[in-house]
Amino acid sequence: MSQMAASKHENTTSIHQQMVDRQVLYPAQFKGAGDDRIQQVNKINEGKMVEIIWKDGKRSKFHSIWLRNNCHCPCCKIDVSGQPTVDLTEIPLDELHITDIDHTEENVLKVVWKDGDKTHQGYLPSSYLKTYCYSDGEMERKSNAARMNFTTDTKIPEIEYKEVMGTQKGLYQWLRILGDRGLCMIRNVPTEQDYLLKVARLVGLPQHTIYGNTFNVIDMPHASNAAYRSIALKLHMDQPTYESPPGIQLLHCLRFDDKIVGGDSVFADIHHIVDVFRQEHPDEFKTLCRVPVTYETLGYEDAAGRELPVHLQIRRHVIHLNNYGHVVAIAYHESVNGPLQVDEGDVEPFYKAFQMLVQAVHTWPYKYGVRLQPGDMMTFQNRRVLHGRAAYVSNGGKRHLHGTYINIDEFRSMLIYLQNTVGDGSPIKRMGLLDMY
């Protein structure tokens, strides 16, 4: 009798239910796994790998070390947190192999590993295996599924404030639009200042920056920051000087008097622009992937209303690719460029390429334009959607926007949670993180 057969009746509670009770398995987490029923399991390559044949006819292969490192048994995962306790340094990779394998009626893969004179029996849920399959072609398929959807529709999607605040379904609808399209207008938000953070805290705490937890965009004629004057603002992303730039930006219009001429907001999808730029200017695209730009924000004596002096500086690529050549992140701002610090042979190629990208942004035909009204809250992905503003003349009127940021990881976390609990469990799109999917 195999070790698997001998242990089948040791616990009356199913292994699947044990994992749920221990909170190392959340069924909703794998809503998008598809058909995770196991048809057959086979040891291959002398137990160094396992092949799973699924009920839908697909096949997956897993290495013994991968399965061992992801074992879900109580010895290998801490209850509630699910943190792994496997010490990889204690596993001799050359000796590790699988001696026995089986699957339960609830589609739990049961495995016995052996390395030297040590044996370990554990298990993994099939939904976990189906979701995290890495067999040939599967990783590229996942990378393709994460690609952003682009559109030439320049109508800004909208949702009502009461809908966002009322139910998880409404919150999910807002975040899903924001995740898919990159921007979403929330209409009819009360025009008191505290409502900005009421909305933001549905997702996470505000992301603190050199401008604080929140900021007020108003006309201050002698401000050192162009955003706080009435001049035009070119399309840009905020604060690429940070290693982790702000993820989501919320701008709540508290006041925008009718007598003001100009001041309309403009937005553009930089990932869409770069997608076209790549096709039309492949050499310059490669330069921007290879040669780093310097971004810099200074505030020594005049801290522009900030509590502390500032000297932020970072060298980073304008465009980041994953291992499949897909664009995963872009850092774009033409007005906070610091002194270029690159090899001398890269100076002119960089300026040529960056100049062409700036021109592509300026001439982009699919810009979103809107004159914000009191009660509007414009929300957008800072790392995907550039924003700018037309110059304006106040004529004695007031224009007041109240803003904050949300960390992109917290936004992504909440969207994934809602996608798996309220939505259909399908993959979410890229958001400008350095996530190699």
CA distance 308 to 217: 19
Q: What is the pLDDT of residue 305?
A: 62
Alpha helix stretches (DSSP H) within 30-86 = 64-69
- Mean pLDDT, to the nearest integer, of 404-431? 95
Q: Tell me how crowded residue 437 is: count the other CB atoms within 10 A of its CB.
A: 18
Is there a contact between 103 and 55 (Cβ–Cβ < 8 Å)? no
Mean pLDDT of 209-219: 91
State the DSSP string of 274-288. Answer: HHHHHHH-HHHHHHH
Average pLDDT on 61-70 reads 98
Exposed / middle / buried, residue 379 (Cβ in 10 Å: 0-12, 13-18, 19+): buried
Q: What is the mean pLDDT of residues 54-74?
A: 97
Cα separation, 54 vs 360, whole angstroms: 47
Contact 347, 276 (CB under 8 A): no
The pTM of the full predicted model, rounded to 2 decimals, is 0.93
* Cβ(186)–Cβ(160) below 8 Å: yes
Whether the CA torsion 42, 46, 47, 50 is positive or negative: it is negative
Query: Quick one: CA dihedral 313, 319, 325, 327, positive or negative?
Result: positive
Q: What per-residue confidence (pLDDT) applies to 7?
A: 46
User: What's phi and psi for 164, nearest 5 deg?
Assistant: -65, -40
Q: Per residue in 102-150, pLDDT tens?
A: 999 999 999 999 998 899 999 999 999 999 999 989 999 999 999 999 9
Which residue, 300, 205, 305, 303, is CA-closest to 250?
205
Q: Residues 193, 216: contact at Cβ < 8 Å?
A: no
Return d(Cα 110, Cα 15) in angstroms, integer: 9
Q: Is 50 exceeded by the pLDDT of residue 434?
A: yes
Q: What is the pLDDT of residues 271-296, one digit of tens each?
A: 999 999 999 999 999 999 999 999 99
As a whole-number percent, the residues of the chain with pLDDT over 70 amount to 96
Alpha helices in 202-334 (DSSP H): 270-280, 282-290
Alpha carbons within 13 angstroms on the beta-carbon side of residue 306 total 19
- Rounded to the nearest integer, the mean pLDDT of the chain is 94
| Whole-number pLDDT of residue 312 | 95
Q: Specify the pLDDT at position 8.
A: 43
What domains, with CATH codes, occur in the chain? 3-136 (3.30.2020.30), 148-421 (3.60.130.10)
